[in-house]
A and B are shown apart, each in its own frame.
Chain A
Amino acid sequence: MRSDPPSQLPNGAARIAQGDEAELAARARAGDRAAFGTLVERFAAQAQRVARAVLQNPDDADDAAQDAFLSALVKLDQYDPHRPFGPWLMRIVANAATDRRRRRSVRQTEPLAPELAGGGARPDRETERRALGERLRAALAELPERRRLAVVLFDVEGYSHAEIAGILGIPEGTVRSEVFHARRALRAMLQDWKEDA
């Protein structure tokens, strides 16, 4: 059962239309480089965000997302064209990011600048936005990996609980629980931020 129809997507973020994904995948599989490029363009930001939910270092995350795209290119014959392309690809991305983290070859994350870590002056809107981003990423990093992925896939990317269950290979009820706990922690952090502001 789909728990969130596309009309309820967060932030007006339109889910990528599924209509021609199968066709693009079929063309890419047949050797159409432009079709593969189109798929990369469509899913690049999403893949990077999901990888960043696992790997805090953006360079590591981008490496994992790139590995995932190359892996997907090789595995295109395993993609079922009757199903949406996004969850299939995101499963590969999540696995690539997790594998990279497990290999423990990740780069060290730069420590937060004092003014971004909280409590410092916020001279302008851009600095404030960046500071909030840093705080959110730090709060996200405190969560267990599966919880991070669940909340990003649900609240940012708009996947349903059932789709996330397929991506992460866990029961749907577990996805709901992970999203709930992640939200509770992140909302508390956002609330603190607002009060500080």
Chain B
Amino acid sequence: MKEPSTSFDHRPDRELGAALRAALTPADPAGFVARVRAAAERRGAPTWDILARWARVGIAAAAAAAMLAGFLTGRALQSPLAPEEVAVMSAGAGATALLESPRAPDASVVFTGLVTRER
């Protein structure tokens, strides 16, 4: 054993270090490691897990929205409306009544309406 030094020794004391290490080193480090890991798991989901969960939900929602949009688009393309139907639908209830009437329309009435609107 070295005598107590009278000056500051800049190097570690190997003998004292070894004795202290033996005195302080735990008997079961593996058990402690397992304990810490389990505690980390129990402590709750860390931020990254929460973010990953949110990302999964977002991806699922986006996929569902894309599928719905695709379905609606495909359905619209399978049954296109004729140009006449589009014109009738946009003209409103008056035009529908005119086309569905069993009697031919009175031309004077029809054109009077148009002339009146232009004025």
**Which A residues contact B (CB, under 8 angstroms)?**
3-4, 8-11, 13, 30-31, 33, 36-37, 40-41, 44-45, 48-49, 52-53, 58, 62, 65-66, 69-70, 73, 129, 132-134, 136-137, 140, 151-152, 154-156, 158, 161, 176-177, 179-180, 183-184, 186-188, 190-191, 194
Chain B, residues 1-35, CB within 8 Å of chain A (1/0): the string is 11111001111111111111111111001001101
Question: Considering the complex of A and B, which 6 residue pairs feature the smallest CB-CB distances, nearest first?
Answer: A10-B17, A31-B48, A155-B17, A133-B23, A10-B12, A49-B24
Q: Which of A9, A44, A140, A180 contacts B12 (CB 8 A)?
A: A9
Taking a contact as CB atoms under 8 Å apart, the answer to whether B39 and A70 are in contact is yes
Pick from A10, A40, A152 the residue with the most CB of B within 10 Å. Answer: A10
Count of chain B residues near A, Cβ 8 A: 37
18 A-B contacts, Cβ less than 8 Å apart?
A: A10-B18, A30-B48, A33-B40, A40-B37, A44-B32, A45-B26, A52-B26, A62-B32, A66-B39, A70-B43, A73-B46, A134-B23, A155-B13, A155-B17, A180-B8, A187-B3, A191-B1, A194-B1
Tell yes or no: B118 within 8 A of A by CB: no
Q: How many A-B residue pairs have CB under 8 A?
A: 132
Taking a contact as CB atoms under 8 Å apart, the answer to whether B1 and A8 are in contact is no
